Structure 1
Amino acid sequence: MSSEERRDSLAEQAAAWIPPWQRPTPPAESPSGGPGSDLPPEVPDPSEIPASPADGTGETFGNAAGEGTEQGETAAHAAERTDAAEQGAERTDRAAQGAEPAETAAQDPAAGVPTKPPAGRRRAAPAPAPAPELDDAELRGALEAILLVVDEPVSELTLAQVLEQPAERIGPMLDEIAAGYTAAGHGFELRRAAGGWRLYTRPEYATYVERFVLDGQSVRLTQAALETLAVVAYKQPVTRSRISAIRGVNCDGVIRTLVSRGLVEECGAEPDSGAFLYRTTTMFLEKLGLNSVDDLPPLAPFLPDDVEELADATR
């Protein structure tokens, strides 16, 4: 074969050569690209690649083959990137599929598995379990035990908070206990005083209690102290000058005595003059067995008949 004929043959073979990535998919029975071939489809058959001529006339084929090889490498890199992207998408899908049951379990308390709150959310603190409700016998005993140790009247709200029971149960139970003591004829009674409840000895046994406690010694308020205390009780809050004007004498020393005994206390200052105001204390209500100052007896029965004439005469 002459050189010209060989050149034409190589040019025809180069023109008829198809790159591997442009070839059609081979049938299933011949995965290697042809019957009896052991090479993979992407590797071309060496018999199809024209040999380069020895006389240097294969420049056209060499350029075409080099260009095809470069395009093949580019296509291979693109295929690798596509495979990597597909694998990343598969991993993302698997992670999403794996996280979906966990999220469902976290939202479904019946799943029976430890739950974890979603990111960015705080789990709400569990509500404290309500205290068990006491039966009437146990509630009665608990109230009696507390009332035996208190040193001042205790309110129904305080008792409800200590026993962790509804406040509406405390009042009726205390009334029932007080009625039971009275019916049984005990030497003590449960009485409401100073806005709370406390046990007191009965008045008919006061002489025996005084004999035991005081042993013949008693501390009594003077007539001046009683008068001053009465003025404070009925006119509170009141200043010292007002008390002195009502009584007609200076009452500074008597006020100091009543304050030291805990029967009277300061409660602010008068806006106009800045003088201290005084009122009765809780001990005052305790000592007299009153629940509030509203329970004080009215003054009208104790006033003289000519009180208006006396008031006009003093003006």
Structure 2
Amino acid sequence: MSDEDRRDSLADQAAAWVPPWERPRPPAAEPDTADATSEVTVPSPATDDLAAQPAVQEPVSAALPGDLDRAEPDRAESERTESDRAEPGRAEPEPDEPVVGEPSEAAGVPRRQAAGRRRVTAPPEPAPELSDTELRGALEAILLVVDEPVSELVLAQVLEQPAERVGPMLDEIAAGYTAAGHGFELRRAAGGWRLYTRPEYATYVERFVLDGQSVRLTQAALETLAVVAYKQPVTRSRISAIRGVNCDGVIRTLVTRGLVEECGTETDSGAFLYKTTTLFLEKLGLNTVDELPPLAPFLPDDVEELADATR
């Protein structure tokens, strides 16, 4: 064969050559259950003389369907691990806190669904509302043991009832005692409520309590207490100027008895200021100092002349 014929033959073979990726693949053989893989031959690419040289067969491993299923998650896990290593500043996700009142992951709810939810706390159960009979009895029981007037707000907080019910119930109890003619009454004093004996039975109560022994305030103490009551807050020097005598000892006596107390200092001089106490209001049966009787009816007619004479 001449060189020219050989070139024509090679040209025809090259024109008739089909790339491997366009060739039809032979049907894959059924894998053996005993072996994990089976060899499938695929023709290798051609060299310079593709038609003249026989095709080289290369073994390719074909995985079983079950192995493919197991391989996909492993590859995804490896890719995720490599991406986490590539970001050194990336913080590890913190475990989600359980949400109160909502199903957790153990109950079948994915953690992604629970993320972002706010913690919910159950509100406290409201106290059961007392009937009128129970509320009346509870108020009477508390008022029997108190040693000082108690306000409506405190009673409402103790009984866990609205203050709108406590006030009218106290008025109803007080009216009931008065209508029934009991020897005691319920009345307001010093900003609160307390049980007191009725004035018409004061003689018998005094006889029982004092039993012949009485502790009375001196005239000087009564005058000093009156000045504090009407001029409060007031300093010792002001009280002494009004009375015309030194009243330091009397002030100490009134403070010891609990009728007068300190309430700060004067801005200019720094002297202590004094005012009456809750015990003073309780002893006099007053709710506030505004209920004190006015002084005008008790002043002499020539009070201005007396004031000018003292100057």
Q: Same fold (TM over 0.5)?
A: yes
What's 2:199 paired with?
203
Q: Residues 39, 273 of structure 1: CA spacing in aligned structure 2 closer, same or farther, 3 A cutoff?
A: closer
Q: Does 1:16 align with 2:12?
A: no
Distance in 2 (CA, whole Å) between partners of 1:63 and 1:208 is 140
Pick aligned residue for 2:251 from 255, 259, 262 = 255
Give the TM-score normalised by structure 2.
0.72
What's 2:83 paired with?
none
Distance in 2 (CA, whole Å) between partners of 1:69 and 1:242 is 120
Q: Does 1:309 align with 2:310?
A: no
Distance in 2 (CA, whole Å) between partners of 1:262 and 1:207 is 25
Partner of 2:118, secondary structure, is: coil
The code of the aligned residue for 1:146 comes to I
Q: Residues 64, 151 of structure 1: CA spacing in aligned structure 2 closer, same or farther, 3 A cutoff?
A: farther
Q: Does 1:144 align with 2:146?
A: no
The code of the aligned residue for 2:297 comes to P
Out of 227-236 and 131-140, give the one that drifted further. 131-140
Task: Check conservation: 1:232, 1:278, Cα contact below 8 A.
Answer: yes
The code of the aligned residue for 1:153 comes to P
> How far is the alpha carbon of 1:69 from its aligned partner?
5.4
Partner of 2:287, secondary structure, is: coil
Task: Check conservation: 2:42, 2:58, Cα contact below 8 A.
Answer: no
CA offsets per residue over residues 87-110 of structure 1, 9 Å max, x none?
959xxxxxxxxxxxxxxxx9999x
The code of the aligned residue for 2:218 comes to T
RMSD: 4.1
CA offsets per residue over residues 37-90 of structure 1, 9 Å max, x none?
9579x94589xx99x9xxxxx974499956x959x89xxxxxx8xx949x959x
What's 2:230 paired with?
234
The code of the aligned residue for 1:222 comes to T
What's 1:294 paired with?
290
CA offsets per residue over residues 164-212 of structure 1, 9 Å max, x none?
1111111111000000001101111101001100111111111211222
Pick aligned residue for 2:260 from 258, 264, 267 = 264
Distance in 1 (CA, whole Å) between partners of 2:174 and 2:184 is 10
Within 5 Å, give how 1:102-121 maps onto structure 2: 118-121=114-117
> How far is the alpha carbon of 1:13 from its aligned partner?
8.8
Q: Residues 22, 248 of structure 1: CA spacing in aligned structure 2 closer, same or farther, 3 A cutoff?
A: same
Distance in 2 (CA, whole Å) between partners of 1:122 and 1:213 is 64
Distance in 2 (CA, whole Å) between partners of 1:222 and 1:167 is 43
What's 2:64 paired with?
none
What's 2:87 paired with?
none
Q: Residues 265, 107 of structure 1: CA spacing in aligned structure 2 closer, same or farther, 3 A cutoff?
A: closer
Task: Check conservation: 1:14, 1:64, Cα contact below 8 A.
Answer: no
What's 2:122 paired with?
126
Q: Residues 45, 281 of structure 1: CA spacing in aligned structure 2 closer, same or farther, 3 A cutoff?
A: closer
What's 1:246 paired with?
242
Partner of 1:217, secondary structure, is: coil
Q: Does 1:162 align with 2:158?
A: yes
> How far is the alpha carbon of 1:295 from its aligned partner?
0.8
Runs (5+) with no aligned partner, structure 1 = 27-31, 53-57, 74-79, 90-105
Q: Residues 44, 264 of structure 1: CA spacing in aligned structure 2 closer, same or farther, 3 A cutoff?
A: same
Pick aligned residue for 2:272 from 273, 276, 281 = 276
The code of the aligned residue for 1:312 comes to D
Distance in 2 (CA, whole Å) between partners of 1:114 and 1:181 is 65
CA offsets per residue over residues 130-150 of structure 1, 9 Å max, x none?
111111111111111111111
Identity across aligned pairs (percent)? 75
Distance in 2 (CA, whole Å) between partners of 1:64 and 1:295 is 127
Q: Residues 63, 216 of structure 1: CA spacing in aligned structure 2 closer, same or farther, 3 A cutoff?
A: farther
Q: Residues 294, 107 of structure 1: CA spacing in aligned structure 2 closer, same or farther, 3 A cutoff?
A: closer
Q: Residues 182, 15 of structure 1: CA spacing in aligned structure 2 closer, same or farther, 3 A cutoff?
A: same
Q: Does 1:182 align with 2:183?
A: no
Q: In the comparison of the two structures, how many residue pairs are matched?
A: 264
Partner of 1:213, secondary structure, is: helix
